[in-house]
Structure 1
Amino acid sequence: MATSATLTTTYLSTFRTILDEWNQNRLKISPTKGFRVPLVELKQSPPSKDALKDVIVAFRTRPSLPNEAADKFHADPDAKDAPVDEDGQLPAVEFCSGITVTSAEPGVFVAHVPGMKWSGPTLTHKPYEADLAFGPDIDNEEVYQRTVVTNDILSLALSGGVGCILAYGQTGSGKTYTMESVEHRIARDLFDQARVVGKRLLLAQGGDVPAGAESGDIFEFNVTFLELLGKHASDLLESTEEVDAQGNPVRTEIAVREDKVGNVRPNLISSTLRTSAELEELINKALSHRRTSATLRNATSSRSHAMLTISIKNTLLPYADEGQLILVDLAGSERYEDSKDHDKQRMEEARDNNKSLMNLKECVRAKAKMAAEDGFVHIPWRSNKLTMLLKPIFDIESRQPSKALIIAHVSPHIQDSVHSTNTLSYAAPFKTVPPKPRGPAPYDAEDPRTWDHAKTVEWLTTQFTKRALKTRQVDWNVKAKAAKLAGKTLKPLEAPAPGQLDLGVDILKICPEGYTAKNLGTLYTPQFVQRCLEARSGEALTMDTLKNAAVDMIGNLFYLIITAKSRKRNEIMKSRKKIAVEAYGEAPPRTTTEYDEEEFLEAQIFYGTDWQKIIIAAHKKYKEEGGDWWNEGYPKTTDAMMDKFRVHKAAVEAEKAAAAEEADE
């Protein structure tokens, strides 16, 4: 049975003797292994096979601080058979290592867990494996070089990929110290690296170079800094003077949710930066706003997850995917014995933090499993706000290359060995083999996410052509009625010659070269409307008409994307083992009549925003009257709207037929 910190401190001299004997025997059998490549030769060495992995795991332990052991840990003077000195006093509390690094690469930490048996104190030695292991003598620069630089995290983000670095561990184990050093070193190197990559792209492209890009400054950097405290997210860049009872700033809560097409983009302050100094200043400002509180292990423990996100846009290739660097300093994990004396609010925060960390564990393990298997692997990233914010690295449908680096931190003290084993047990399973390569998604005519530029232009042209023809027909119908009242007959409306129909917009301004439906699907509705208004040409469409057309069109695109996602998920689920559902009955019918999908979509376009308004009003009425909405209300409401649409559609077709007959006569 593992001992408490107090009991471990009481028998510290005995544990130190056992540990010294174990270490001597270990060194006789196998000396400690260092890193494969010395630090000075690291940049010239070829990438290792670990650089190809989706998930890289590193362990780190810090050195003990002066007088830290004596200040933090205290022996029990009343303990039975406690070792005492010649004066009958308990010996002074001095540092005793609870972690031994037996191999730096591949990394192996051995945790020394104290225990008590009937025969006296015992020590269990538990090994844990990772890709890298950093002992207390390794400084921050070497950690940065062997993790971020060796694995090309910066180049990945500058190339349109997603690089994520997470610092995890017990409170007081050095997470924030490591993450802040990584953040400042990324600020130091990112812009220089961007200029190198930019010049390389300019040379490869040749031809005309955009103004101001000769130096390689072709990237635009936007930075956000979010704090997640329990279930509540806030913006660390928001300025506020209001504070709570603990003296921490009170900020507006930020909603964390998916938008129409599944993107998670909290409404945060986004700062556009151009230099290392600006990024350094922003990091320092945000970190000064972060919430901290005293715990039994750390006087300034970070009580929240802090997420720095750097979005990188390539202005030379403006329609390529934006790269991202996501740097997360996770809140310190706590065991019950370290948080039992906290107030109710702090206890809830600790529970929420631990829940989010456990969900993160499940997501990372599922991602690691997905890299090694061919079948479907469910990643439960929607289960928690933390993992929702990390969707770019967990979304199985994303085709952006991604890489996650987890640095697990443990305390060096033997009194914290139980915490250390929890941390190492949490992080060790993330270690995986290199993933199997995934090519681009195959073309699917019904899935806008797979369309190229030509297909997207074709779809937009078809949408605007349908509307132009409809408007042309309506105008002719009005003129035909006026002519009939005057005793005249108009010539039948002839189909326009190819290329002669005025669409009212320049399609290539809406979807320039290199742009695809996938890019359009990431736009908010106002952004798409603005893009269409800027592409307006001539007087064929009024501003209001074009606005309504743009709203309907982006709605249709969202519908196609969502339908494609659902269809593919359903295909995957159908291929898995089916569960008998007879006992649960069948789902209630959505409508009493089966409608063709195209006709249903045409009806929604016909009604526009009134479609949802009618459904909402009917739902409210059924709720007030206590009716069965799904079995009665929804089918009746939908059927009524579809009947009205069909009447309208039939009238239009009748008018066309009548016009055609008059023309024949």
Structure 2
Amino acid sequence: MQQLPQAEPHQNPQDNLADINRSASVICRVRPLLPYETDQQLVFNSNPNSYLYQPVKNRFGDVTLQEQIFSFDHTFAHTDSNEIVYSSLEFERLINLFFNSGVVTCMSFGQTSSGKTYTTTYLVNRVLQDLFNLNSENKYSFQMQYFEIFGEKCTDLMTGTEIFIKEDNMRNIVIQNVQTIQLETFEQAYTCIKQGQQSRLQTATQRNNNSSRSHAVLKLMCTNNTCPIADIGEFYIIDLAGSEGSGDRTEHDRELIKQAAAINSSLMALKSCLQARMVASSREGELRYVHIPYRNSKLTLLLKECFELSSIKKSHTMIIAHVTPCEKDVKQSVNTLKYVSQMKIAVQNAKILTVNPENPVVWDLVKVNQFISEASNNRIKPETITGDGMSGLQLCKLPEPEFIQRAMTNPGVGEKAAKHIYLKLWNKVIDAKMVVRKELKKPVMTQKDRDQQEQEYLLELIKRSK
């Protein structure tokens, strides 16, 4: 075989960093060969590219190495430490987005035994440390939920009880029966995480004595103590279960085969949503309406906001592809690198919605109060619904039973009347969504079309000025 390259020292060019102004970034990390592995290393990173050398036999039986190059926003070699990964990706910027009511999602993706949990565990600890270090004035308060998803079953890692991920009438994703823990210190948060990790579904497999068989989801929430109507920030850190090729399942028993099928099915649902999101933004950098099948699994339902073509909130999704350098894993590594690298090329920013004054999610407190008064013919005092203050988005996230219960505290307002007002709000939300969908369904204009339109506009101005 020809001589292979050596790993290069880590480079950190500014334009390769995960850009907070984009709605997605794709990263690649190669783990080192483990002490017991005797394979030749066939995957190398030279930021921002990954190089994979696949053994190919010609018709004479000679083996040559076919080079394949994959481009990412940032890559990390097998020699790069967790500290280099964290500092290079500037997680502090993601934390600031989280503080400002944004939605951050960080997913570790790759085959089993590729180092996902190793990376994720470090990222969780560092993010928690920085949350408290950057909050010295106690401007924010933090909460956490920690649960696992295995197929269609979801379990709270803190209590062991079954939880339910659903979509409410307002199309918000809600997690029922999950324990929400108020975080006061890093030490408390660290203890909770360690406790939850011990409850995660793990099984000894051919590749890993402690193979994670579920997707572990840490959901952090941030409340702005100085602005009650500010929306809650959300930070998801997800350690996905590893995909398995046929070679990894040769010695599986029936239970392991069942687990592998559930894992691969859920990952396929995730891939389908990411693929649809790519198709939606594949023409001239413009977004077009495409059905995204996020309801096909509990994992994708939870991550619905990652796939949105339009949003009222800023969000950033970071996918870290993990690959092994081993010759026996080349096929799996090619699949991982090919799939994730495509996202860098295709995924465009989610369109930030222009302000539609009829859309309840953009209402301020004044507009919320006005709606409640008008919809109830002044029978409901707005403060009985909104308390100390509530934005339109917060009003839309208020569960229907709670909305009705609050409305019924007003004299003469029964359940039927309260539900009627809730349905008025619901109808306004649906109408606003239809406006967005129609906008996304408009024909996509090419640059040539835009230039022609601008030229016609200028000619019309000249004509009118004469």
> For the structure 1 residues 115 and 374, does the alpha-carbon distance in structure 2 shift closer, same or farther, using more than 3 Å as the test?
closer
Q: Which has the higher strand share?
A: 2
Pair 1:322-2:232 in alignment: yes
- Confirm or deny: 8 A CA contact 2:373 2:381 kept in the other structure: no
> For the structure 1 residues 463 and 53, does the alpha-carbon distance in structure 2 shift closer, same or farther, using more than 3 Å as the test?
closer
Q: Which of 509, 512, 518 matches 2:393?
A: 518
- Confirm or deny: 8 A CA contact 1:168 1:330 kept in the other structure: yes
Instruction: Using CA pairs under 8 Å that are at least 6 residues apart, name the structure with larger relative contact order, 1 or 2.
Output: 2
**CA offsets 1:468-499 (integer angstroms, 9 cap, x no match):** xxxxxxxxxxxxxxxxxxxxxxxxxxxxxxxx
In structure 2, the residue matched to 1:189 is 130
Pair 1:391-2:266 in alignment: no
Pair 1:460-2:401 in alignment: no
TM-score by structure 2 length? 0.85
Equivalent residue letter for 1:454: V
Moved more, 396-405 or 345-354: 345-354
- Confirm or deny: 8 A CA contact 2:203 2:213 kept in the other structure: yes
- How far off is 1:353 after superposition? 1.7
- Confirm or deny: 8 A CA contact 1:98 1:416 kept in the other structure: no
1:201-240 correspondence to structure 2 within 5 Å: 216-239=137-160
**SS where residue 521 of structure 1 aligns?**
helix
- Confirm or deny: 8 A CA contact 2:26 2:341 kept in the other structure: yes
In structure 2, the residue matched to 1:429 is 342
Q: Distance in 1 between matches of 2:395 and 2:315?
A: 22
**CA offsets 1:84-112 (integer angstroms, 9 cap, x no match):** xxxxxxxxxx34212122x22xx211112
**CA offsets 1:240-285 (integer angstroms, 9 cap, x no match):** xxxxxxxxxxxx4333221111111121111111111111111111
Equivalent residue letter for 1:258: E
Equivalent residue letter for 2:40: C
Equivalent residue letter for 1:429: Q
In structure 1, the residue matched to 2:253 is 343
- How far off is 1:362 after superposition? 3.3
- How far off is 1:574 after superposition? 7.0
- How far off is 1:507 after superposition? 2.3
- How far off is 1:385 after superposition? 1.5
Pair 1:143-2:85 in alignment: yes
Q: Which of 61, 64, 70 matches 2:30?
A: 61
In structure 2, the residue matched to 1:9 is none
**CA offsets 1:337-382 (integer angstroms, 9 cap, x no match):** 2114323332232223222223322333444565631432433322
Equivalent residue letter for 1:161: G
**SS where residue 106 of structure 2 aligns?**
strand
1:135-284 correspondence to structure 2 within 5 Å: 135-149=77-91, 152-195=93-136, 216-239=137-160, 252-267=161-176, 268-284=178-194
Equivalent residue letter for 2:368: T
**SS where residue 89 of structure 2 aligns?**
helix
- How far off is 1:310 after superposition? 0.4
> For the structure 1 residues 49 and 404, does the alpha-carbon distance in structure 2 shift closer, same or farther, using more than 3 Å as the test?
closer
- Confirm or deny: 8 A CA contact 1:230 1:348 kept in the other structure: no
Equivalent residue letter for 1:293: T
- How far off is 1:291 after superposition? 0.8
Pair 1:121-2:63 in alignment: yes
- How far off is 1:287 after superposition? 0.6
Q: Distance in 2 between matches of 1:131 and 1:567?
A: 34
In structure 1, the residue matched to 2:462 is none
Equivalent residue letter for 1:36: N
Q: Distance in 2 between matches of 1:286 and 1:320?
A: 30
Q: Distance in 1 between matches of 2:96 and 2:401?
A: 33
Pair 1:311-2:221 in alignment: yes
**SS where residue 147 of structure 2 aligns?**
strand
> For the structure 1 residues 390 and 553, does the alpha-carbon distance in structure 2 shift closer, same or farther, using more than 3 Å as the test?
same
Q: Which of 556, 560, 566 matches 2:424?
A: 556
> For the structure 1 residues 65 and 56, does the alpha-carbon distance in structure 2 shift closer, same or farther, using more than 3 Å as the test?
same
**SS where residue 175 of structure 2 aligns?**
coil
Pair 1:36-2:12 in alignment: yes
1:445-524 correspondence to structure 2 within 5 Å: 445=358, 447-465=359-377, 503=379, 505-511=380-386, 515-524=390-399
> For the structure 1 residues 110 and 573, does the alpha-carbon distance in structure 2 shift closer, same or farther, using more than 3 Å as the test?
closer
> For the structure 1 residues 385 and 556, does the alpha-carbon distance in structure 2 shift closer, same or farther, using more than 3 Å as the test?
same
Runs of 5+ unmatched residues, structure 1:
1-17, 38-44, 70-93, 196-215, 240-251, 467-502, 578-665
Q: Which has the higher helix share?
A: 1
Q: Which of 380, 402, 427 matches 1:527?
A: 402
- How far off is 1:171 after superposition? 0.7
Q: Distance in 2 between matches of 1:35 and 1:173?
A: 22
- How far off is 1:182 after superposition? 0.5
> For the structure 1 residues 314 and 190, does the alpha-carbon distance in structure 2 shift closer, same or farther, using more than 3 Å as the test?
same
**SS where residue 52 of structure 1 aligns?**
coil
Calculate the aligned-residue CA RMSD, in Å. Answer: 2.9
- Confirm or deny: 8 A CA contact 1:53 1:433 kept in the other structure: no
Q: Distance in 2 between matches of 1:138 and 1:530?
A: 55
Q: Percent identity?
A: 30
> For the structure 1 residues 237 and 512, does the alpha-carbon distance in structure 2 shift closer, same or farther, using more than 3 Å as the test?
closer
- Confirm or deny: 8 A CA contact 1:111 1:421 kept in the other structure: yes
Aligned residues: 439
**SS where residue 431 of structure 1 aligns?**
helix
TM-score by structure 1 length? 0.61
Larger Rg: 1
- How far off is 1:323 after superposition? 0.6
> For the structure 1 residues 148 and 237, does the alpha-carbon distance in structure 2 shift closer, same or farther, using more than 3 Å as the test?
farther
- Confirm or deny: 8 A CA contact 2:27 2:75 kept in the other structure: yes
> For the structure 1 residues 575 and 439, does the alpha-carbon distance in structure 2 shift closer, same or farther, using more than 3 Å as the test?
closer
In structure 1, the residue matched to 2:457 is none
**SS where residue 63 of structure 2 aligns?**
strand
**CA offsets 1:596-642 (integer angstroms, 9 cap, x no match):** xxxxxxxxxxxxxxxxxxxxxxxxxxxxxxxxxxxxxxxxxxxxxxx
Q: Distance in 2 between matches of 1:441 and 1:173?
A: 42
